Structure 1
């Protein structure tokens, strides 16, 4: 995927025409009224999602963004489609990383929800990214089991993605989960088989984290909007250390991700350069 271009000017015009700034989440995220995940985001049977280089953009940077779509976090995708996503993509490109390829995941609870994992494609174009984000079903589920299935993002990244960044350049991608709950501790083989269509091994969260870390820098963004979220953040800090990023205002998510990605690539010595700010309106990404 990723064969189209990112154009902030075109995205702004399309967003205005679509009414993203005025419509409710239920009006934009139409799967909500159907009460089911979009068929194209069903992970069952997926072998791999791939982030590949192109002739024009030879240094693809794979980014996975796993969004908690349970009850207390369902407003985050709405905020992203209104203004956060172009802020994120524009910030990354202007910050000197011209080839981001972004994959959305919808994360729920594999113990309680009908759709604990939803999977988009690695994309670079504004229209395609909007499409995958708005196809996401905000199930607003979760249960009383004191956790969500953030470890599903680690599982999918570890075993169901392929990237030229890693295969050609030994360069890790970046994986973010965003949420306000603890991570569930175990992913049973039975759950993997139900979700993915195949699965013969049970994994602990730590095992999946270690598998994902082989090819991705793994971060978790804790949104501290409740006492429960503050308590959950303690365990996240113990698990990830400085890779647990704690925020009180969810609108900071694009800024946090942009800073991590741009700093990482400045420090990598790739010399990707910086695109002038006055050129952002017509940025196009292949």
Structure 2
């Protein structure tokens, strides 16, 4: 997937139509739906794909999965309103070549009716369509845990990235939440939600080790969320992801934070240049983004060096 190109004009026309007709950007959820939309249902999905093509020969996969339980339910609404800023920074500021963005939602497999929702990697306005199909359930288990580990399992075993296959370049995975993962991926939940048969549980550390072969993984914790700033939550995620745990003091800055993180990872900018870019596009969230990304600036973002690609008789060659 990932064909086509993003059009802000198309996005604006759709937003204007919804405003004039009184329709919601999340009509599926706001209509009362409580089941996963069939196009976002992970059950039986073989692979979600970020593919190179003639149109997008150097795809950059970017997955954004967010907790939609409790106080986190407003995250997709913020993302939807700020998609033009995200795509604008990624493309017009050349932070990433041929970005392909996937959106998904995370709940709690112990009690929610929609514990995992996963879109497709898209380059055009279909990413907005995927957001519109997400169920904003607002439930959760109430135990300071949600089923993040189930989402990590899906991303590790049910996505394929041409950036990795063809160029040895990992994608980017952003988890936006305010709670901890459960300690293990449970076979019963994997079977019920995704359809896979596991012989035994997988520890969160083990599935993350597998996942990091494909993705640089970041956890964004909005400090205004229910467990924002919680010491136990922060310590657990820092045990798992180190400096890639980003505390964000303004949820409205989430798209800018994602874009600049990718820009840093692609070595397209340093943090000072990113701050200048935010000012250039009129963003009021430079302070929040700078504070969130300070850990990455202090430790430096480490990425595999990209392969130089040349076309030869046998196709793309690594030099």
TM above 0.5, yes or no, is yes
Match of 1:143 in 2: 141
The number of equivalent residue pairs is 268
Rounded Cα–Cα distance in structure 2 between residues aligned with 1:98 and 1:180: 30
Match of 1:153 in 2: 151
Gaps in structure 1 of 5+ consecutive residues = 269-275, 281-286
TM-score in terms of structure 1 length? 0.87
Rounded Cα–Cα distance in structure 2 between residues aligned with 1:103 and 1:148: 20
Rounded Cα–Cα distance in structure 2 between residues aligned with 1:227 and 1:103: 25
Superposed displacement of residue 54, structure 1: 1.3
CA 263–95 in structure 1, closer or farther in 2 if over 3 Å, else same: farther
> Following superposition of structure 1 onto structure 2, how do residues 42-57 of structure 1 map, counting pairs within 5 Å?
42-57=41-56
Rounded Cα–Cα distance in structure 1 between residues aligned with 2:183 and 2:116: 16
SS at match of 1:40: coil
Match of 1:36 in 2: 35
Q: Deviations over 1:16-58 (max 9, x none)?
A: 22229x8667x63446512222111111100101110111221
**Structure with bigger gyration radius:** 2
Q: Which has the higher contact order (CA 8 A, sep 6+)?
A: 1
Match of 2:12 in 1: 12
Larger CA deviation: 31-40 vs 49-58: 31-40
Rounded Cα–Cα distance in structure 2 between residues aligned with 1:42 and 1:32: 18
Rounded Cα–Cα distance in structure 1 between residues aligned with 2:105 and 2:226: 24
Match of 1:235 in 2: 236
Gaps in structure 2 of 5+ consecutive residues = 270-276, 282-319
Rounded Cα–Cα distance in structure 1 between residues aligned with 2:11 and 2:97: 17
Superposed displacement of residue 132, structure 1: 0.3
Q: Deviations over 1:163-218 (max 9, x none)?
A: 11001111100000001112221111111111111221311111111111011000
- Please tell me whether the aligned partners of residues 53 and 60 of structure 1 are also in contact (alpha carbons under 8 angstroms): yes
- Please tell me whether the aligned partners of residues 18 and 24 of structure 2 are also in contact (alpha carbons under 8 angstroms): no
TM-score in terms of structure 2 length? 0.78
RMSD: 2.4
1:90 to 84, 88, 91: 88
Match of 1:162 in 2: 160
Match of 1:102 in 2: 101
Superposed displacement of residue 144, structure 1: 2.3
Match of 2:219 in 1: 220
